[in-house]
Amino acid sequence: MQKFSITKLEEARRNPTAFAKSLLLKSAGNPRFSKLTAWKNSIYYFHSVHDLEQAIDYIKNTFKKNFKDTRSNRNSLEEYINYLEDYVDAFQKMKMVHFKTKERISLNINPELKITGEIPIICLNEQLGYDIYFLSQANYDYKSELKFPIIQQYFSEFFDCDISEIKVGIYSIQGNIFLLNSFSMPLIKDSLSELNNICEEILKNLFTA
Average confidence (pLDDT) over 119-138: 95
Same domain, 85 and 183: no
What is the biggest distance separating any 2 CA atoms in the chain, rounded to whole angstroms? Answer: 55
Same domain, 89 and 150: no
207: in domain: no
Average confidence (pLDDT) over 36-49: 97
Q: pLDDT tens-digit profile of 92-127? A: 999 999 999 999 999 988 788 999 999 999 999 988
User: Which domain-ending residue is among 43, 78, 94?
Assistant: 94
Helices (H), the chain: 9-14, 16-25, 35-49, 52-66, 71-94, 147-158, 185-208
145: in domain: yes
Residue 186 domain boundaries = 2-12+96-198
